[in-house]
Structure 1
Amino acid sequence: MVHRTRNHRHLFGDGDPTLVFGHGFGSDQSSWRTVAEAFAARHQVLLFDHVGFGGSDRLAHCDQRHSSLEGYALDLLDLLHDLPPRPIVYIGHSVGGVIGLLASLIEPARFGRLVLLNVSPHFIDEPGYRGGFARREVAGLLAQMDADYGAWVASLAPVAIGADNAPQHIEAFGLGLHALDPMIAARFARLAFYVDCRSRLTEVRCPTLILQSTQDSFAPVEVGDYLHRHIAGSTLRLLENSGHCPHITHPQLVIRALEALLSPPEDRPATGPRPAARVPQPQAS
């Protein structure tokens, strides 16, 4: 299938349900590798790159199809059509979570669960809503990207990863940004930073786990609360870490949260539901 190479598909592991990991802006499937490999002994795992990122076929970028996040959602559904017709668990980071959410609205039968990691339905502050950025800040961010891509990368990477996290993660994230085609990156960045899918949240019907970092400059805690209030039956878990990419900087936090979700019912602790359980950082041994 053409889309297997278009999206640089990697399918490995064995077991149900299949776990599909979607990356956010500025990274690729490698950002999920540590988390995904922790589940490959018990689950089939699908990793892929959005068109324009990682090892994807950048010539497959289509101005019409990829002018909206719905086009990327269709790419994801093409990949799912290669799998057995059983519901999958989709784990999406940031705008990758939005893409999965939109795909679940197009073909809900394909999705057994959604996991949204630091996902924002809208990054811009509005009356009665805190997205984390003033509209002028987003416009300035994108203008800097157009004017001086290298300086933009240097300023964005520490904020995305979290300046107090390991320098190698900041450096690797910056190198990933530098590797992008600037034209495709600029188009995708505008889709990501101007996204507004707030009106679609009430349409989500599959069980949804919201994983929200306690200190994230891109998606403040209020964003996780908003998703939780507007997605019926969702669960919110707070990850005690800084930065927008805990699957890169603190993968064990994400692994623990997913293990709690995927463990058989008899293995889960017999506790009542809580609106926002916390997943603390593992203590050093």
Structure 2
Amino acid sequence: MSIQRRNNVQAYGDGPVTMLLAHGFGCDQSMWRYLAPAFSERFRVVTFDLVGSGGSLLSAYDRQKYGSLNGYAADLLEIVDEFATGPVILVGHSVSTMIGLLATIEAPEHFLAQIMVAPSPCYINQNDYVGGFTRADIDDLLDTMDSNYLGWSSNMAPAIMGVPDQPELGIELTNSFCRNDPEIAKHFARVTFLSDHRAALSLSPTPALILQCSDDLIAPVTVGHYMQQQLQHSVLDLIDNVGHCPHVSTPSACSTAIERFLERMLT
């Protein structure tokens, strides 16, 4: 099977370092359109769709393989092997920050840095850890998705996007959710929201930038502080933004934070 066709891989730009961009749940690589151009003059930029999303090959979706984030991490490493030139700066959003984390643990020699946009290693509150949701909250969310995926998408996508002064972005995310195959999306949601990768944080040797939003329904600031404590060689940068998708709603703030981090990394 062609990796390019499976993941709808796109590559452009040139440079001795590759910037690989991995989108979040319910989205596709088009969500990087505001951020990626800022880096294409200096880096080889590679974007792709997770299997089951966007323009990926839906027939490649295997519920057993993608029953954990490790299946997506394996795909990511195959994309690195085939499309990357030189070391990789991995930029992930939301669930793809954990997919990327697993990849950096499996094959750290490929990665120069990991940039985590709105990450969360665990969404459920446990003891002293505040992930933002109770288990009952997550069960209700998943039950609602099971019973009415399109209705859930219409209600939740604008809240996840945030930025009430830009309602068109909430509509865009709603449409992105609704384009996905409901059965695949519901399975991916369970894998995402029930996962717990807190123990993996300390295992990644790759330097990390944690970009957390000041007001995020999905990944609260407490998660960013927790990750910064657990993830070695990490920097926490708080972006003034309401919502879970700052690379769409405030891309200039994201690119500025990334540039600041890379300047320290590459000099």
TM-score by length of 1: 0.91
SS at 2:63 equivalent: coil
Which residue of structure 1 aligns with residue 108 of structure 2?
A: 108
Aligned pairs for 1:2-151 within 5 A: 2-83=2-83, 86-151=86-151
Deviation at 1:61, TM superposition (A): 0.6
1:242-253 superposed matches below 5 A: 242-253=242-253
Alignment-mate amino acid for residue 247 of structure 2? H
**2:197 maps to which residue?**
197
Q: Which structure has the highest helix share of the two?
A: 2
**Cα shift at 1:211:** 0.6
TM-score (norm: length of structure 2)? 0.96
Please give the root-mean-square deviation of Cα atoms over the aligned residues, in Å: 1.5
Q: Which has the higher contact order (CA 8 A, sep 6+)?
A: 2
Deviation at 1:35, TM superposition (A): 0.4
Q: What is the CA–CA distance in structure 2 between the aligned matches of 1:265 and 1:27, rounded to whole Å? A: 29
1:43–1:139: structure 2 CA closer, same or farther, 3 Å change rule? same
| Aligned mates of 2:266, 2:145 — CA distance in 1 | 50
Moved runs in structure 1, 4+ residues, more than 3 A?
A: 263-267
User: In structure 1, how many angstroms separate the alpha carbons of the residues matched to 2:238 and 2:206?
Assistant: 20
Q: Which AA in structure 2 matches 1:104?
A: T
Percent identity between the two aligned chains: 39
Name the count of aligned residue pairs: 267
Name the CA distance, whole Å, in 2 between partners of 1:265 and 1:136: 41
5+ residue gaps, structure 2, are: none
Q: How does 1:225-244 map to 2 (within 5 A)?
A: 225-244=225-244
Larger radius of gyration: 1
Moved more, 121-130 or 152-161: 152-161
* 182-191 vs 156-165, greater mean Cα deviation: 156-165
Structure 1 unaligned runs (5+)? 268-285
In structure 1, how many angstroms separate the alpha carbons of the residues matched to 2:30 and 2:11? 13
- Opposite residue 41 of structure 2, the aligned amino acid is A
Q: Secondary structure at the match of 2:26?
A: coil
Post-superposition CA distance 1:16-61 (Å, at most 9, x none):
3210011000111000111011111111100000001111001111
1:155–1:207: structure 2 CA closer, same or farther, 3 Å change rule? same
Q: Please list the CA deviations of residues 142-167 of structure 1 after superposition, one character each: whole Å capped at 9, or x if unmatched.
A: 10001111220122112110152411
One-letter amino acid matched to 1:65 = K
